[in-house]
A = this chain, B = another copy of it.
Amino acid sequence: MSLKFSIQNKLKNKLGRVGVIETPHGVIETPAFVVVGTKGTVKALTPEQVKDLGTQVVLANTYHLYLQPGGEKVKKMGGLGKMMNWSGPTMTDSGGFQAFSLGMAYGEKVGKISKNPPLTPPLVKGGNGEDLKLAKITEDGVEFKSVIDGSTHFFTPEKSIEIQHNIGADIIFAFDECTSPLASYEYQKEAMERTHRWALRSLEEHKRSGKQQSLFGIVQGGRFEDLRKESAKIIGSMDLARRGGGFNGFGIGGSFDKEDMNTAVGWVNSILPEDKPRHLLGIGEPSDLFGAIENGCDTFDCVAPTRIARNGQLYTRNGKINVMNAKFTSILEPIDKKCHCYTCKNYTLAYLSHLFRAKEILAYTLASIHNLYFIVNLVKEIRQSILDDRFEMLKKEFMLQYSNGTE
């Protein structure tokens, strides 16, 4: 069955809303932070630890699972959820972002798609300064290199949907081109129009298959108001009518400048149909969440909480701290005395400092639990504040404290 979405409450004079997404594997109370399990595991955590910290839904990356162990292998293992022992709702992205950004740029900064015209390979600077071919975009799809062994692969919209069918997540995404925030207007427009044609092909492939997973279309257009609005209009109204209807929800893609993001998200969500859920792709720093939510996004995924955790960076209401700071080796208190996460209930900063210095695996587990708990439950707190009509107060309090932190 496809998802059902209902709205319970709305922010006054804003786009934000509280809702519930019903999936075959349970409900997602929105707004909700989607925890990333790139390769079919949330790094350093068991599924029980993921669930216990409050996670409602896990997103895996199609690009990574396609390369290893392969979509058909995941299918044979019973699909993503059964394979990884996660019984709740799941999502996969389309693989587009990684295909464009990780091609030959493994270890380089991702997302730096060139401003060159389409149909020529985007370039990035390699570690020693030479130009590296990232990925080759054609009307049909994108050719890219495996980060594992350098082998060449080709994704089309149909291929992305086929892989996502094999992986079997509850919510899947149309294949899109994720452009650089630095790309020119001309390139953004061409890429967006291609993304629209790929969205239609994704939708046709999905409806043709008869699969009951929910397909989200992706809005692009960079930081340009007319493109974002055009994309929201086209993707929001794309419908195969008698051949099975339109998208079950929407994704908002692309990299944004921090300042632009809320504005661009607002343009899009003013146009997208109100009765379908909206996912903001790859966003999730604490301070980004308020803006995304008040501008009408229901879900968001981001690797930041677990990635920075493994580097010893921990969220607190007073901003991020780095556990490698020498002063923490003597602190016999948890990361945050008011935090109710497993890590803060059972371990001191002094012990975490020891584990990080000793490079013990438990360090990454405990830090990941704390950071995910922080983000997942901050979003739950924001949700409750909308129900209680005190969103603005929470936002003001949080932003002041977070930005004024001593760290």
Contacts and interface: CB of A to CB of B under 8 A. Distances in A.
Contact of A40 (B43, B45, B83, B354): B354
Given A77-B348, A347-B85, A44 B361 contact: yes
Given A39-B360, A45-B362, A354 B76 contact: no
A43 B347 CA distance: 16
A352 to B, nearest CB: 11
A138 interface: no
B77 A365 contact: no
A357 B45 CA distance: 17
A69 B361 contact: no
Nearest to A353: B69
A355 interface: yes
A374 interface: no
Contacts of A46: 49, 362, 365
Nearest to A65: B354
Interface string A353-375: 11101101110110000000000
B73 A329 contact: yes
Chain multiplicity (copies):
2
A332 interface: yes
Contacts of A180: none
Contacts of A353: 69
A84 interface: yes
A404 B347 CA distance: 45
A128 interface: no
Q: Among A76, A332, A357, A358, find the residue whose CB has the most chain B CB atoms closer than 10 A.
A: A358
Contacts of A39: 354-355, 358, 360
A68 interface: yes
A365 to B, nearest CB: 7
Contacts of A351: 40, 77, 83-84
A63 to B, nearest CB: 13
A194 to B, nearest CB: 31
Interface of A: 39-41, 43-46, 49, 64, 68-69, 73, 76-78, 83-85, 329-330, 332, 346-348, 350-351, 353-355, 357-358, 360-362, 364-365
